[in-house]
Each structure stands twice: as structure tokens, then as C-alpha cells.
Structure 1
Amino acid sequence: MTKYYPLLLFISLFICPSSSLGNGIDYPLSNKSSVVDDYHGYLIKDPYRDLENLDSADTKLWIRNQNIFSQSFLKQINQQQEFKQILENIFDKESQSIPFRKKTKYFSWYNNGSWQQSKLFYSNNLNSIKTLLLDPNVLSKDGTISIGSVSISPNAELIAYSISDGGSDWKTWKIRNIDTKKDLPDTIKWSKFSGAEWAKDNSGFYYSRYSEPKTGDEYEELNRNQTLFFHSIGESQSNDKLIYERPDKPEWGWGTTVTEDGSYLLLSVSEGTDERNRIFYKDLRTENNSFIELIPELIGQFIFLGNIGSEFLFFTDFKAPKGTIISININNPQKTNWKTLVAEADDALTRVELLDNYILCQYLKDVSSEILLFNKKTFSKKKISFDKKGIISGITTTQDSDVFYFSFTNYIQPNEIYQYNATNDRINLLWKKQVPDYKPADYLSKQLFYPSKDGTLIPMYISYKKDINLDHNTPLLLYGYGGFDISILPNFRERYLAWMKMGGMVAVPNLRGGGEYGEEWHRQGMLDNKQNVFDDFIAAAEYLHGEKLSRPGRTVIEGRSNGGLLVGATMLQRPDLFGVALPGVGVMDMLRFNKFTIGWAWESDYGSPEDKQGFETLVQYSPYHNIEMGECYPPTLVTTSELDDRVVPSHSYKFTARLQEAQNCQNPILIRIETRAGHGAGTPRDKTINYISDVYGFAFHYLLQN
């Protein structure tokens, strides 16, 4: 039931501390206030608005008390230690990234299994001894300072690398000489959602930044008016050259590419998280010229692939929702002159890379990878000789070679790294992850399709240990996301293996809102269609229960970020269907998500509460606004992080406080708040293990009581 009230029927509230409804659990105090907002004539209560003040003494005390309270529950759970022992064993093995080449140097990340963060190494060929280049573990004792991204200069002599403190999206860029392993004095601050794109003469790189936030507001202040700069090596950041800004378009952001021939600078002009973008370019051979707007309107997604002189190649979904490849001659750029190089196929085109003699096209066929190679001259095509069912990812290559590298995985197959030569179709296994006490042959992962509420068939993978007896008592972990054109692909995850080792089954449906079947699949789960995502998730649970593979009391639902919203919404809509809920770093207040950091950018997928139609859709499913007083919700462990500046933690704080107040049974409502982490990226090894052990231990404990 939606909590909104016509203006004339509103009854004022009083300020008071919250208390749960006679459930016997004495939750920490959460102060209430009488805050009310007027949305299009509807008055909406927001009793826990004060928890949005992240730096207040009251909020800090609330965080401390909630963590102490939650740990008093978690430390008594035997399954927490069982999961931790399994995970410590699983993680105690080396891992490696796909190699990438620049000139004659090969770079890759490596972890021996005990390091908190992986280290970056390089070598002069794939088989030679590797030299350590970057070690983020020396930046902090607990591993909470991580390296975000790296960019190698064209001559392979310098590396720009970004540093994240505590998992924040804010990045500080440094530059290191690869041969001497010494950092230059250059330091670039207040960069966010930006890479480093080098000029071809190695003189510096392009990057984007925001204005320095007010002290104390670093993790809350709205991020608007991104600006593009060029940093010259050896200069102070204050001397960086402003390349482009649009104060009249505060929601625009920039992705930059310098063409391989060094002639052009391209801007991919984004607007929030809308996958559609504009394309501007500038001729770098001419001084002081302005950007030309090649694609000035949001008519589709355009990803620059490369150029042959004035002929620009793009991936696009313009008039091709599953994706196509086109060329545009910038000297004759009218749409009527655009040429189709690779036509739209039946499956979603998810990645394109230019090789020396081929165009590599990766397709997603019922959530499994397929790669086709198109000859650049004849456009004849061939499928690579690789027939394993799963996901190919992380493709790296260069445009001067027909050799590329990729990793392969699925839910029960640990990562394998391959080298492929497109000229002779020769494939070489470079590395294979070995997991202690694990044999893939002992596990089974299979895909099935089930009908959602409206009859749409939804794909889902289920994975489990072959020797368990699947029945209505099986502990079921149901994970979902469903949004922002993001495909949830079959990847091997240590956390899922731990769940299966404990005798459980993992189910991952590919909900609408993702990109598994192209843009149309995405649109069926966004804006006014968002309820489809929740219906798909609910239908997955109902289907598995109907097949006697589990039952409501033995089902835990998990999701993070947009998936945290999914869990929050579905546990409120169908509390009878789930035994435990694990909403992580979720977007829980759908009427105020656009007030903090980068939240405004999500309006492309969610809609805006400032728009009446958008409000009327959002308020129907906003988790914070749909909690029923006196309801019995399943045991719930909410998770968030104090330094999450992507989805600010006040979403989870407010949701938890209101849920604790409303709960009218013995099922605990807990929140676990990490103090030195962000939205998830860069989390060190030990914190990852402790997190998984807590949430899965909690889930397993309460499922087994049902």
C-alpha cells in the first residue's frame, strides 16, 4: 500500500523516537521528525530525514549503535564462521587479469591469494619474468586505498593511475615512469567518472573533473558541471588547459578518445546514465578550432571504434536496437550518407574491437557469448573456434595486430585466459584459475526459461552441487539486478561457490531492464515499466517453488545498488515469498535519489519525482515509502558503507529505521555499515571475506530455522 496522502487529508506528525510494534526486539533508537514534502499536491512523510545528515553527531551515534546491535546477532551465528572458513580457503589462490599490450610491453594484474589488493606487473613478452610496477598494498595498512584505473602512454614510458581512498568514486591521478618506477610530482585531484586519454605525442592526457566540494560534503554534494582538461606532464594541475565545458548543460559529461592517427579528439557527450549520447569532434591538426557536433541530439548510442582518415566507424543502436556497425564520413555527415558495415543481427551485439585485418563482434546469444570476425576488406565472416558455453569477457587487443586476449568463465568454471590469433584461428590457453578443493565436474549449471506475470519468457541460470538432493528444503539464493542496460552474465564467483558448498542452490534470472537482449529488453524494465523487473523477480521465485526446488521459507533474495532497490521493493510487495532479504547499497528513497552526488543521472532509467507522472510511478514502489506498519517482514540484513558516494548510505539508514519501527514479529531487521568502503569497487580481500561471511551466514542461519 502506497504511503502518500492528498493534501486536504493530511494529519500532522509529532517528533518522537521510533519503536518497533511489540515484537520483543529492542532496536537502537532512531529519532523521528515531522518532515513532510509536497509532491504535486500529495504530502509525503519523511520521518527519518535527519539520517541524511551524514556528518551529524546523531547520525554517527546511530551508525555506531546499529553496528554494535547487528554484531551482537551475527557473532552468535555458527554459519558465519563456516562461510568464513570456506571463503578463506577459496580466496587462498592466485588470480590474474587478462594481459594488455602497449608497444612491446605486456601488462597484467596479479594476486598471490594473500594480498589485499592485486598488483600490476609488466614484461617484454608473455613468458618472461614480470616486473612489479604498481603495488596498492603499500598505500594503506588495511588495503582500503586502491588503484581505480590505469592508462599507459603511447610510447609505453609513463603510466597514469588513479587512486581511490576508502572506495570513494573520487579519484586522485598520479603519473609514474615505467622504467625507473618513480612517481612524477604531478598530482590531479577531484576527478570522477573519468579516464586518462593520452595525446599521441606523449605530452599529457585529457581528463574530466568536478569542482572541489565543500569540506564535509565530499560524499553528498551533487556532481554536476563536469569539465574537460588537458594535463601537460610536469605541470601543476592549476596550469591544466580547459578543453571543454558547458555550464549551460550541467548534466552533460565527457568521454574522450584520441584517434589512432592522432588527428582528432572525439567527445562522447553523455547525459546521466542514458545510454544514448552525442558525438562531437575536434581536428587536432589545427590550432584553436572548436568542436564540431557530428551527432548533436540523443538519437541513440554511438561508440567510436576507429577511423580511416575522415571515415569514422561507430557501433550504434540507432534504428537497430540489437546493435550495428556504421561508418560516417565527417566531410559528408548527413544521415542519408551513413553506411552500414555490419548489419543488425538476431542477437545483441555487445562489444566491437578493431583488429588489423578484422572487425571483432561479440554477441550475446541467450546470455552466452559468441564471437564473429568480419574481414575488413570483404566483410566475409567467420566464427572463432571456441565452443564452450559461458561468457567471454575483457577482450584486449590493438589495431595493429590480429591477436587478441580474453577470459572465459561461467557459474561453475573458474576464469581461463586465452590468446587467439584471428589470422590462423590458433587458440592458446595462457592461464587457468585453480580453486582449492574444487572440481567443476562435481557441479552443475543449467539455463531454463520461465514465464513472468505478463507471459514474457525470462532466462535464468541455476547452479548447485550435483550430489545434493534438490527439493523444497533446498536453501535457495536468488540474485537479481534488472536495470541500466547492464547484463548479468554467468561469472564464477567465490561467494556463489561458498553457498553451493554449504548445500545451497544459486539462481540468477536475467530480468528485464538489463541488456541481455538489446535495447528493447532494457526499455521493458525502465521508467513506467519498472514494475516488470519486480514481477520478473517474483515470478522466478514462484517458478522455482512450483518446481519443488525450494520454498518461500528457504529462499533468500540478494541484490546490490539497483539490485538493492529490487530486493527492497519485492520483499515489501511479497513478504510471504521469501525467507530472508539481503538488500545491499540500495536505492531505497525513490523520491530523493536525485538530491545527492550522481543520483540525478539515474533519472534516465527511473524517471524524476519532480515530474508528476514520474512521481506517481516512483511512489508506487519506492521501498522507503511502502513499508507497512504492523507487517511481518522476513529477516533482513541491510548493508551499506559510510563512504559510498555513488548510492549515499542515507538510503539504507532511513529504510532500516522505518523497517525496524514497522516490524511486528521476531524476524530481525539489521544493518551492517562498513566504515572504510564505498559502493564496492576496490574493497580489499579481508573486508570482502568478512562481508560475505556475515551476510550469507545470516541468511543460512535463518533459512534453516524455517
Structure 2
Amino acid sequence: MRIRHLLLAASAATLAIAPIQAQEITVPDYPETRDDGTSETIFGQTIADPYRWLEDDVRVNPAVAQWVEDQNEVTDAILASLPLRDTFKQRITELTDYERFGLPEEKNGRYFYTRNDGLQNQSVLYVREGLNGEARLLIDPNEWSEDDATALAGYAITEDGSKLAYAIQDGGSDWRTVKVLDVATGETMSDTVEWVKFSAIDWAKDGSGFFYSRFPATGEGETFQALNTNHTVYFHRLGTDQSEDVQVFARPDMPELNNIAQVSEDGRYLVVTSSSGTEARYEVALVDLSQPNVDPRVLVPGFEHDYSYFGNVGDTFYFTTNDGAPRNRVVSLDISQVDPQPVEIIPEQAETLEGVSLVGGKLVASYLKDAKSQIRTYSLDGEPLREVALPGIGSAGGFGGDVDDSETFYYFSSYNRPTTIYRYDLDSGESDVWAAPEVAFNPDDFVVEQKFYTSKDGTRVPMFLVRSREVAESGEAVPTLLYGYGGFDISLTPGFSPSRIAWMEQGGAYAVANIRGGGEYGKAWHDAGRRSNKQNVFDDFIAAGEYLIEQGITPEDGLSIQGGSNGGLLVGAVTNQRPDLFAAGNAAVGVMDMLRFDRFTAGRYWVDDYGYPDREEDFAILRAYSPYHNVRDGVDYPAVLVTTADTDDRVVPGHSFKYTAALQAADLGDKPQVIRIETRAGHGSGKPTDKAIEEAADILAFLGHYSGLDQAQ
């Protein structure tokens, strides 16, 4: 369990549009943002925070709500005048309008999966009786709210396939409400569980109820900003009120822990994985469900390493771990032993091990080789069996199921290929297409390449580069959109996006830099981009931009950048450090105040990557790159479009609000620095299709105008 990781064919050449005449975009005056004079002395430094009042929840403080309205009015005026806005909206809509499927999950002969007919705002859950049976609708979230901003955020199925517990996400919030569906009748049962967050949902094997994790209820006005502590595992018995739920696991001595529960393969144990932050340092405990009055047994103590449980056969429990293996390996623990010691099953490889499934009596291991997927199967004792043949450079995942299954399902996607679902026969090793999309472009008209470049300190960094075949063969320098993340051990692997295709159809290039801080090369790559090494992340990204210009891929005034969440921080930091390098940037839902990030909702978890603002050594590092605190008055900046949502309770929107106010208060030249604030959209998950299309069109039109894409055709 990787806790931290809690989208009619035609040739692209036929879609070129006539050149658009250059036009000057008039930037309205920015709204005046009140400077309340707030400052404080931290470790002997006076830190100005004049816009702290913008941290208040927009639903609570009318002044913040008015500021949001005023800012959106200015931004909307600019966006409405952009030449490519309507073109992008129309084309992204066409490219999004294709049938999409989620991975099927089989229980007792029933196959459950999500499907979107193309432009549905939320995907719909279906079930089939048998693999090729007729599809029957179970849950349609599009009926839950008028604005379609209420989403199905996950589900869990009983072993007999008769009941389904499903999570509801409203307005993009991280909070979940769990309800139960009778699969045969399609009726929603009376069971309702609230205050669920950062939780797995797993049924007892007999279907009597399910395990989940929750935080205590918050006080009035605190739901979307208060720190989350005292994460506790409960058991909900089917047909009872939540007030009767039984506490199964809690750590009141360590209220900062997250505690995630899984039922073991044989149903006897509850495997609880505890963590204190985002770093993969876990403690694993076993709750013996056959002996309810026995205290949990700590199986893996110490919060020193990643031990991620993925299945067991009897007393042999299987884990992926970085213990003694920075790129991860597979070990087993014999829980019948008093002090079980890890036995190596699959040793560390040259490639990074991303995850393993125990299905059909085999181990299916997913590896990353230079950020591209490789899938290998092994026997339970680690003997190599075969490699799963994949169509090319891309990402593959899935491979779920039970230890006695004969089949499993996986997906494959790439920058030029939407997700295709495959059924994999575990005995023969053969893959068959289960669901393939029909899309409004020709994937072969686009070329996916991998490049390597050198960062400031000599580190070799990979980069994916995607262009139309025509642009790639011409060797022409074209406006390029560079994307990055660089944090939390998260790897950027190839995936499909209609908006990226639309960008390239207009003549642009798209690049993804696999910078340090991610997980592409295991623990060492992550460590090289966090805490005191965070500047490496920014250096890697800046070097990527320099490489694209030096190699003639993009002109000097044609480079746009984009990143979200930790990637929003990335965009803010490199814009301050090298404003001359970039023509335009989109900082999405970013962490922009590095001195106060740990005071809101999930922010306290991020100290593993960023450090502690209240520790002097960490404070000095954070102060040096915090986007909010390092805006350079009197320097020409690129055009900046900040994007966030008023209901984001992961990275609270106050980060983006304060950062935008600081940009607008400074003299940064002639280009605009504005903010687009979505309503009821949260951090990104659960966003309705129509809102996602509108936002993508706005962003690409903005970046495209200020990087010269308007003139690319």
C-alpha cells in the first residue's frame, strides 16, 4: 500500500488553422488588495505577511469572498480576449468526447467498472453478470448535484459481490461520505458513514461490515482548514448507525499518525499501516480479527522503512520495501514466528520497483525504467516467469485480483494514446484488448521521444518530448509547454491528455521533466530533491528549460511552464529565480507560503519533503525559495496565471491568494499576473468534465498567447 498516492480518427495535419493576427491584450487594473501590515519576527528575521487575511475560508469571511469575485472579474476579461480560447475549448471538447472505461474488478462472477460516454461530467459505475454480460447501471453521480461537482470517489465490493460500499466526494473536498448499495436491487441501504478522509475501505470477508479510517468531527467553520489529527480505524457493521461503529485501531499517543487498514487475503487479520507524513516510513501492525480482545501486534516497528503489504498465503505475508534496497525489493515475513525476519523474494533490480500484486498464485511486479513501465511476473518464491509485452513507451498499471484468480486486468496509456484496458491470462501470459477508445485524432501523427539533459551539478535527468510528427521532422523551434512536479517520491510517467493533443495540433511541443524529488529512480532520487536538497528540483527544471532552448526545440521567447500542487510551488520558485527564461507560467493549486504550510489541513504531512518551518535550519532553506516571500520587485516577469479553487482543502487556496496579491503589488513589467479561482472544484479530483475542459482551454490559451503559439500556424 503506497499511502502517499492517496483523465472518428483524423490526421492532425488536417486540423491546422489559419494564422491568427497578433493582437495586444489589454490588462485591466488589478483589484486593490488590502495590506494589513502583518509581520512577525522569526529567528531574528522580520517576515512581512501583509495578506494573511486572505488565508480565511471564502465561505466564512465575506471580504475574502469579495476579493475572489474581484480577481475573477479581471481574469475573465483577459481570458475572454485570448485568440485561441474558443479554438482550444472546441477542440479539447472534441478530443474528450470518447468512451472511457475504468479497470474491471471481478467478484463472484460479477464484473464492476466505471464508464464515461465521453462528455459526462462524472463517470458512471456499471456491473456485468459474467465478463461479456449485459451492462447494468449501478451508480450515476451525475444525478447527485445540479452542478455535477459531486463525484464517486471509490468503492469496495464484498467477496460475494452482493454489496458495494462507495465514497462520495462533494465539491472537490478530501472529506468522504460512505454509503452502501445492494448490487442485486440497485438500492442504496440505510448505512451512512461520515468524516472519512485519507482512508481505504475494506470489507470483512463474510460481508458483515467494512473497515475504514476517519478523523474526529471538526468544529463549526473549521471543516476545510483545521489540522487533521487522531486518524482512527473503525469497523462499521452493516445495518447499524455510525454511532455504533467499533474502534479497531488508534494511536492517541501519536495523534499525528495516519492509520490505513486492509483485510488480509485470508480474512483473519487486519493489516494496519501507520505513517506520520508523506515519506515512506511505515509501522505495520496486525489486528487478529478472530481474537477481538487481543492487542494489535506490531509486525514492522520503528517508522524506518517502506513496508507495503500486498498479500499473503497463510502465514507468509508479502511486502515491497526499500529496507536495504533504495529502488525497492520484495520480501516475505512469516508471522508464525515470534520475531519474523524479512526473507528476500525478489531482489532489488536496476529499475525502480513501483508496486506488486499477488494474483493468480503469481507476483506481478511493476517497474520503472527511465520513467517508462515494465511489467514482470514471478513465482511466489521469486523465480522469474515472463515479461508482459507492452505497446511502447508508456504507463501500465492495475493487475488487481485474488490469489486464486486466473485473470487480471491492466491499462496502458501514453502521451499520444488514450487508456486501453487489457485482460491478462495469468497462465498463458496472453493479453487481449477488453476496451479500446476510438478517438478524434490519429495517434501516429504524434511522436513520443525521451531525451536526457545535464543539470547544474552534472546530474543526468530524463525528459519526455512530444510533438506532431510534422514538427519533429521539420526541426523547427516551436512554442513549448514544459511540465514538472519534483516531490514526494511521485514519478511522472507517460499519460494521455486531450488538452496536450490540442496544444500540439496548434503547432506546439510538450515536454515533461523527470526532475529530482520524484520517485523515478527510487529513494536516492527522491532524497536528492527534498529538505535541504530542494534547490536541486528548481535547478533541474531550469536546466530543462535551458536545454529546450539550446537544442532549438523552442525559441527563447517561446517557453511556457506548468505544474500543480508541489508543481505549483515549482513554477512559483523558478519564476522568481529565472524570470528571464520563461514566457508564461501556470502555477496550479500550489504551496506558495513555505513558512505557514504546516498550519492547515494536510499541510503538516509535508514536513517530510519540505522540513519544519519552526526549526531554524529548515526555516532558512524554506525562506530562501518560498514563492510568496521572494517575488522580485522591479524585474520583468513572465505572464503568470495562478489557478486554484475556493474549496480546495488539500492545499488551501490562501496560498494562491497571497502569492497572487504579492505578484500584483510588485512592479513586474508589462505582462499580466492574474488568478483564476474555480468554485466547488477542490484540489482536482472529482472535477466535472465541463469544468476541466473550460479550465484547460483558459490555461492553454493564456500560455499560448504569451509564448507565441498564436503565431505558430
Change (3 A) 1:204 1:382: same
Change (3 A) 1:378 1:242: closer
2:221 pairs with 216, 219, 244, which one? 216
Deviations 1:102-128 (A, max 9, x none): 121111111111311110001022222
Residue 291 (1) aligns with residue 296 (2): yes
Change (3 A) 1:81 1:333: farther
Residue 315 (1) aligns with residue 320 (2): yes
- For 1:15, the equivalent position in structure 2 comes to none
What is the alpha-carbon distance in structure 2 between the residues aligned to residue 245 and residue 39 of structure 1? 35
DSSP 3-state at the match of 2:302? coil
DSSP 3-state at the match of 2:184? coil
What is the alpha-carbon distance in structure 1 between the residues aligned to residue 349 and residue 512 of structure 2? 26
* Structure-to-structure mapping, 1:508-527, within 5 angstroms: 508-527=512-531
What is the alpha-carbon distance in structure 2 between the residues aligned to residue 109 and residue 604 of structure 1? 35
* Structure-to-structure mapping, 1:239-638, within 5 angstroms: 239-332=244-337, 334=339, 337-376=341-380, 379-386=383-390, 388-436=392-440, 438-468=441-471, 473-638=477-642
Change (3 A) 1:130 1:42: same
**Offset at 1:86?**
0.5
Deviations 1:432-482 (A, max 9, x none): 11111x111111110010001111110101001112376675110000001
Residue 32 (1) aligns with residue 35 (2): yes
* Structure-to-structure mapping, 1:689-700, within 5 angstroms: 689-700=693-704
8 Å contact 1:99–1:396 — kept in the other structure?
no
What is the alpha-carbon distance in structure 2 between the residues aligned to residue 472 and residue 532 of structure 1? 30
Aligned-residue CA RMSD in angstroms? 1.5
DSSP 3-state at the match of 1:173? strand
TM-score of the two chains, using structure 2 as the length reference: 0.94
8 Å contact 1:552–1:576 — kept in the other structure?
no
* Structure-to-structure mapping, 1:61-100, within 5 angstroms: 61-100=66-105
8 Å contact 1:144–1:682 — kept in the other structure?
yes
**Offset at 1:377?**
5.2
**Offset at 1:212?**
1.4
What is the alpha-carbon distance in structure 2 between the residues aligned to residue 177 and residue 618 of structure 1? 51
Amino acid at match of 1:448: K
What is the alpha-carbon distance in structure 1 between the residues aligned to residue 199 and residue 76 of structure 2? 37
8 Å contact 1:151–1:197 — kept in the other structure?
yes
- For 2:651, the equivalent position in structure 1 comes to 647
Runs of 4+ aligned structure 1 residues displaced above 3 Å come to: 469-473
DSSP 3-state at the match of 1:481? coil
1:141 pairs with 143, 146, 161, which one? 146
8 Å contact 2:200–2:262 — kept in the other structure?
no
8 Å contact 1:25–1:666 — kept in the other structure?
no
TM-score of the two chains, using structure 1 as the length reference: 0.94
DSSP 3-state at the match of 1:575? coil
DSSP 3-state at the match of 1:180? coil
Change (3 A) 1:129 1:554: same
What is the alpha-carbon distance in structure 2 between the residues aligned to residue 78 and residue 371 of structure 1? 44
8 Å contact 1:472–1:545 — kept in the other structure?
no
Amino acid at match of 1:442: D
**Offset at 1:310?**
2.3
What is the alpha-carbon distance in structure 2 between the residues aligned to residue 395 and residue 455 of structure 1? 38
8 Å contact 2:409–2:424 — kept in the other structure?
yes
Name stretches of at least 5 consecutive residues in structure 2 with no aligned partner: 1-25
Amino acid at match of 1:607: G
Change (3 A) 1:341 1:645: same
- For 2:161, the equivalent position in structure 1 comes to 156
**Offset at 1:588?**
0.2
1:59 pairs with 49, 57, 64, which one? 64
Deviations 1:484-531 (A, max 9, x none): 010110011111111111110000011111111111111111111111
Amino acid at match of 1:641: A
What is the alpha-carbon distance in structure 1 between the residues aligned to residue 173 and residue 384 of structure 2? 46
What is the alpha-carbon distance in structure 1 between the residues aligned to residue 195 and residue 292 of structure 2? 28
DSSP 3-state at the match of 2:470? coil
DSSP 3-state at the match of 2:700? helix
**Offset at 1:311?**
2.2
**Offset at 1:328?**
1.2
What is the alpha-carbon distance in structure 2 between the residues aligned to residue 626 and residue 380 of structure 1? 52
Name stretches of at least 5 consecutive residues in structure 1 with no aligned partner: 1-22
**Offset at 1:396?**
2.5
Deviations 1:81-109 (A, max 9, x none): 11001111111221111211112111111
What is the alpha-carbon distance in structure 2 between the residues aligned to residue 471 and residue 34 of structure 1? 53
Amino acid at match of 1:453: K
8 Å contact 1:644–1:677 — kept in the other structure?
yes
Amino acid at match of 1:525: G
Amino acid at match of 1:144: A
- For 1:200, the equivalent position in structure 2 comes to 205
- For 1:186, the equivalent position in structure 2 comes to 191
Residue 103 (1) aligns with residue 108 (2): yes
8 Å contact 1:149–1:195 — kept in the other structure?
no
Deviations 1:305-351 (A, max 9, x none): 2223222211111111111111112233546x321111111111111
Amino acid at match of 1:642: D
Equivalent pairs, count: 682
8 Å contact 2:368–2:520 — kept in the other structure?
yes
